[in-house]
Structure 1
Amino acid sequence: MAKVLTITLNPAIDVTIQLNELQVGEVNRQESVEIHAAGKGLNIAQVLKDLGHEVIVSGFLGTTNKQIFDDHFKEAQFQPEFIYIEGETRQNIKIAEHSGRMTDLNGKGFLVSELDKKNLFQKIEMILPQVDVVAIAGSLPQGFSVDELQQLIKLIQQQGKKVALDTSGKALVAAIECQPWMIKPNTDELFESYQLPAATYAEQKKLFENLAKIEHVVISMGEDGVNWLHDTHPLHAKAPKVIVKSTVGAGDSLLAGMIHGLINGFSDEETLKTATAIASHAVTQIGFRIPNAETLNQLKAQTTINSLSESDANC
């Protein structure tokens, strides 16, 4: 198995509240609350670890409430290489309803200093010789610009390492200019970033023909499945029907599954089928752990993979 570095620049403590139905402006009774260390890079790391890969996790963390992260790293057997800075890591409140609807109240995050950023870049440069792939995921903290995100990507690429990226908005636009190995936006994020339609394969193909060349563009489309754009054999995955409990971590699970398949040399069809099955299972739970082999194989059997063409109006 490979060794992967995940970078979470703006992690969070997720507080997930389950209830029947959110009544805005009323007193609501929660059914359960789960609190855990989170962030898109950490979610990706968890899935990759469950799949058997060695994982190093890095980024920024606040010192005030770091214990929950330290405990998580020990339990998950991650190798932590974070830069600890003054202040608190943000909290994200997630309200999960029985219908599957999720309401997010995301914290802003800490402010990183010039010294914090310098220390992170130095640490990443030291780690790179140990790893095969780097995944950068999530939003940018205050004080970390899109130009600095580009510098980070270029630092990794200069060491000959593959960069997989999952972010949105101006950060996504800036990252695409650096031609990472893989990106995993969803259709809403593409529209937000470029103000152009990206709901179908034809629209997606047209959009990316005018952007920097990226080897693997993986576009999650919710109930409509996943489109994987690459030169040799663009594919569409139709996900199995499942009961949605929470969408948190689904996109992260998809990206982790794609990394897993590609670095293990799976066929294109097997890579996308495995990644889609893992993501489908993620929405059935609060969390994003890998199902047992039997459940995963059942979900893979229910996942349909087809070739894409511009005539595919619904893909």
Structure 2
Amino acid sequence: MILTNTLNPSIDISYQVESLEIGAVHRPTQMIKNAGGKGINVTKVLNDLGADVTATGYLGGANGQWIQTQLEQRNIQLQFIDIEGNTRQCIAINDGEHQTEILQAGPEISEASQALYLKQLTDIAHQYKVVTISGSTPKLINQSKTAYMIKILNTLTNSYNIVDIDGQSLKGILGQCAHIHAIKPNQSEFEDLVHQKKLSHQDIIKILKTNQLFKEVDVFVTLGSEGAIIKLKQSIYKATLPNINAVNPVGSGDATVAGIAYSVEHDLDPVTTIQTALACGTSNAMQAATGKIIQQEVDDLIKKVGVEKLG
């Protein structure tokens, strides 16, 4: 079984407009409303894959109830903590050339809710083979985000834990906590982690081989349409993707995390794990909605993801 954690969920609203002009009135040609937040995207993709997945995190207010209803309609098991504040909304406006995003910070999480969440994790985490933690950390009353994330990970001692959080938070916990088994930074996030910019593919490979920060961690560095460089079970791999007609790449990283989690749950070999993860990310990019894949598409794409073992 797989447990997903979304500490700062959102209702994601995407507007398609012909052009975007500050100060003008716009009438969208399309509007899409989704239950979102990175961990919820992971959850939806795992559900599309037929995985036995449970979603947890924080939900509150009318927005939280709407998200809960959307997930219940998919028959996803839920273990969310109910909070006093209203779950946030995030808005994306796409004019065909650029995407403009307005991201609410989200509600504050009280000390009581923080404690309840940690207790729940302590009680249920042993049931799950794989646990994912994704997305931004909400505002915490009387608690640092780094310290809280370490507390969360310290409850997850029996599972394979995949962490996909913002670069600053990841930087604060990587190396301080033994319970991180895999991370999935994109190239920019990876560069932030190692305090270097404009890394070539060879630079990334060298760092993954030599940097002690990544010694005990599986690392999936996603490179957009260029594929990925992966350190998995102490070996380095380079993966390439097939050419596709991308519709909306938002959420592809989350779909990749779902593919990793699914592969670990099913004890797939390293090459098939990489192919499955990247096929999920690619299928997501071919859909208008975020956190959405098509199983038949994934099955076809797996055969087209190239994987080379580099050592």
2:162 is aligned with 1:164: yes
Which residue of structure 1 aligns with residue 8 of structure 2? 10
For residues 154-181 of structure 1, give each alpha carbon's deviation from its aligned partner in whole angstroms, at most 9, with x where no partner exists.
1112xx2221110122211123222411
Which residue of structure 2 aligns with residue 197 of structure 1? 197
Which residue of structure 2 aligns with residue 118 of structure 1? 115
2:273 aligns with one of 271, 277, 281: 271
Provide TM-score, normalisation by structure 1: 0.89
Letter aligned with residue 81 of structure 2? I
Q: How does 1:5-84 map to 2 (within 5 A)?
A: 5-84=3-82
Q: Which range moves more in the overlay, 113-122 or 196-205?
A: 196-205
Shift in Å at residue 207 of structure 1? 4.2
Q: Is the 8 A contact 2:5 2:134 kept in 1?
A: yes
Q: Which range moves more in the overlay, 197-206 or 298-307?
A: 197-206
CA–CA separation in structure 2 for the residues paired with 1:70 and 1:49: 15
Q: Is the 8 A contact 1:98 1:245 kept in 2?
A: no
Which residue of structure 1 aligns with residue 183 of structure 2? 183
Q: Is the 8 A contact 2:204 2:229 kept in 1?
A: no
Letter aligned with residue 284 of structure 2? A
2:212 is aligned with 1:215: no
Which residue of structure 1 aligns with residue 291 of structure 2? 288
Gapped runs of 5+ residues in structure 2? none
SS in 2 for 1:53: coil
Q: Is the 8 A contact 1:257 1:274 kept in 2?
A: yes
Letter aligned with residue 31 of structure 2? V
Shift in Å at residue 182 of structure 1? 0.7
CA–CA separation in structure 1 for the residues paired with 2:198 and 2:234: 21
Q: How many residues align?
A: 303
Alpha carbons of structure 1 residues 225 and 70: separation in structure 2 relative to 1, 3 Å: same
2:303 aligns with one of 283, 295, 301: 301
Letter aligned with residue 86 of structure 1? E
2:250 aligns with one of 248, 266, 276: 248
CA–CA separation in structure 2 for the residues paired with 1:198 and 1:121: 39
CA–CA separation in structure 2 for the residues paired with 1:27 and 1:217: 45
Letter aligned with residue 277 of structure 1? A
CA–CA separation in structure 2 for the residues paired with 1:226 and 1:76: 31
Shift in Å at residue 104 of structure 1? 2.0
Alpha carbons of structure 1 residues 17 and 116: separation in structure 2 relative to 1, 3 Å: same
Q: Is the 8 A contact 1:11 1:39 kept in 2?
A: yes
Alpha carbons of structure 1 residues 65 and 248: separation in structure 2 relative to 1, 3 Å: same
Identity of aligned residues (%): 27
CA–CA separation in structure 2 for the residues paired with 1:47 and 1:184: 16
Shift in Å at residue 108 of structure 1? 0.6
